[in-house]
Structure 1
C-alpha cells in the first residue's frame, strides 16, 4: 500500500502540474507573490478611482451589485473594506467624474505598478535575464493597464446589467422571468471568460518572454479555479476558526484583506508557472519569443 502511494505521488510529480508546483515552492515563488501583494495595494485604489468613476457615469449602481455577487465567496472583512472604498468614491459622483477625466494618465501609471511587478516576477519564472527597452516597458505597462481595465469595466457592466437586458429580450418572447433566470447562470460564464481573458493577456504580454496563448490558457484556468477555492476556504477559515479581531483589533479587516491578496497573487503566479512548465515540456515550442 505504501509503495503504491509513493508511486502515485511520483507519477503526479512527473506531470506538468506536479513539476510546476514543485518548482514554484522550491524557488520560493511565494516571496514573489508577497511582492506582488505590495504592488497590488499600490495599484488597486488608483485603479478603483478610474474604474468606479467610469462605471459610475455609465451605471451608478453597477459596482455595488457586482460586489454583491461575491457575498458567499470573499471573506466578509474583504467585502466590507471594498464596499467602504467604493461607497466613498461614489459619494461624490461629480468629483469622481473629474478625477476620471483629468487624472486618468496618473492613475493608469500608478495602477501599472502591478503590471510592471508581474512582468519582473514572470521573467524570474521564465528565466529571462534581459528585459525590454525602457520605452517598450512604458508602452506595454500603459497598454496592459488600459486594456485590462477596459475589459474589467465591460465585464462589470455586462454582469450587473445583463439581467435587465435579458428580461427585456425575454419579454419579446413572453418569457421574461425564464430568460432572467437563465442569465443568472450564464453571467458566471461571462465573468469567467472575462477573468480568463485578462489573465491570459497578463501572462502573455507582461513578462519579456512571450509565450503562446494556447500554453497559457490552462494556467489561467488553473489560477481562476484555485483563486475561487482559496477565497472560499480562507473565508470559512476567517469566519469559523481564526479570530483576527482578538489579535489585531481594528486592523483585523486590513490584515485579512492583505492575506487574501497574497493568496490571490500566489495562485495567479502558480498558474503562470504551470503555463511555463507546459510550454517547456511541449515537443516543439515555437510560440515563445524574447523581446529586447
Structure 2
C-alpha cells in the first residue's frame, strides 16, 4: 500500500492517453482490482453511509434552495429525482423529506442545514476511505483533517449540484435575459438552450472529478473530465434507467418485501451507485499507473531492501 506522497502523479500525464494499455487490458486490470480490493463489499458499506447521509444532504440542499427568491424549487427537484430513481424509492425519499421540512420552521431549517452538512459529510468520509482502499493508498491524515476535507468536499459538491440545478430550472430564462442584454435575437436563445445541457453534464462530471481528485490521501493532477468520471456518470445514468425498467416490468419488490419495498429499492440503488463510483475510481487509478513513468528512486529502494544473494 502506498504512503501519501510516495508516488506523485506526473503533472504532464494524460489519463486519456495511457501508453500501451488497450481497452481489453484496462478492463482486465479493473476487474482484478475490483476483486483485490473488494469493491462490491466496499460499495455495500458505502450504501449504508449513503442512506444515513442522504436525507441530511437533501435537508442541507433544501436550506440552500430556501435562500433563493423563487418558491417551489424543491418539488421540481424531487420531480427530476423521480425520473432517475426507482419509483418506490423516489416516493419514499419525497415523503420523508416533506415530513422533515413541514415539521421544521424556517430558522430551525437553516440551523438544521448546518448540522445536516456535518451529518452528510459522513457519506463523503466513507467515500474517501473507499477511494484510498481502491487506489492502494495509506491514509495518514489526522481525524480532524479527514473530517474537514469531507465537509469541504460535501459543501463543494453541493455547490456544484446547486449550480447545475439553477441551470436546469432557470436555463431558458437566463438565456432570454442574456440575449436581451446583448441585443441578440431568438437564434442566441436557441443556441443557449441547446448548450445548457452539455454545460450541465460538465458540471456533474466536474463534481465527480473533484471528489476523485481531492478525496484520496494522495492528490492527483486536476482534470475537468477523466475517463473514470465519464464512465461513472454514463454508467450511473444507465444503471438508474435499467433499474427503473427492471422494477417496472420484471421485479415486484412490494410483493416480496411488503411495506419496506421502497427502502430495499433505495438501498439497492445506493449500493449500485457506490459500485459505479468505485469502478470509475479504479479506472482512473489503473490509467494513472499505466501512464506513470518509471521511478529510479523506487528501484533504488527496492534494491536496498532486497536480501543478499537475490
Q: TM-score, normalized by length of structure 1?
A: 0.82
Which of 193, 214, 228 aligns to 2:202? It is 193
Partner residue in 2 for 1:31: 41
How has the CA–CA distance of structure 1 residues 66 and 190 changed in structure 2, closer, same or farther, with 3 Å as cutoff? Answer: farther
Please state whether the residue corresponding to 1:60 is helix, strand or coil.
coil
> Aligned equivalents of 2:222 and 2:140: distance in 1?
20
1:234 aligns with 2:256: no
**Bigger mean CA offset, 57-66 vs 200-209:** 57-66
Partner residue in 2 for 1:83: 94
Please state whether the residue corresponding to 2:276 is helix, strand or coil.
helix
Partner residue in 1 for 2:133: 124
How has the CA–CA distance of structure 1 residues 276 and 285 changed in structure 2, closer, same or farther, with 3 Å as cutoff? Answer: farther
Which of 172, 178, 181 aligns to 1:163? It is 172
Shift of 1:273: 0.6
Please state whether the residue corresponding to 1:18 is helix, strand or coil.
helix
Instruction: Give 1 or 2 for the bigger CA radius of gyration.
Output: 2
Q: TM-score, normalized by length of structure 2?
A: 0.78
| Aligned-residue CA RMSD (Å) | 2.7
Alpha-carbon deviations, 1:76-134, whole Å to 9, x = none?
A: 22332233234335546x7144322x234422221110111111111111212242122
Please state whether the residue corresponding to 1:57 is helix, strand or coil.
coil
Q: Aligned residues, how many?
A: 272
1:279 aligns with 2:285: no
Matches within 5 A, 1:14-53: 14=25, 16-53=26-63
More helix by share: 1
How has the CA–CA distance of structure 1 residues 205 and 197 changed in structure 2, closer, same or farther, with 3 Å as cutoff? Answer: same
> Aligned equivalents of 2:155 and 2:233: distance in 1?
21
Shift of 1:224: 0.4
Are the aligned partners of 1:159 and 1:190 in contact in 2 as well (CA < 8 Å)?
A: no
Matches within 5 A, 1:215-254: 217-254=226-263
Which structure has the higher relative contact order (CA within 8 Å, separation 6+)? 2
Shift of 1:256: 0.9
> Aligned equivalents of 2:200 and 2:294: distance in 1?
30
Please state whether the residue corresponding to 2:105 is helix, strand or coil.
helix
**Bigger mean CA offset, 21-30 vs 155-164:** 21-30
1:211 aligns with 2:220: yes
Are the aligned partners of 2:205 and 2:224 in contact in 1 as well (CA < 8 Å)?
A: no
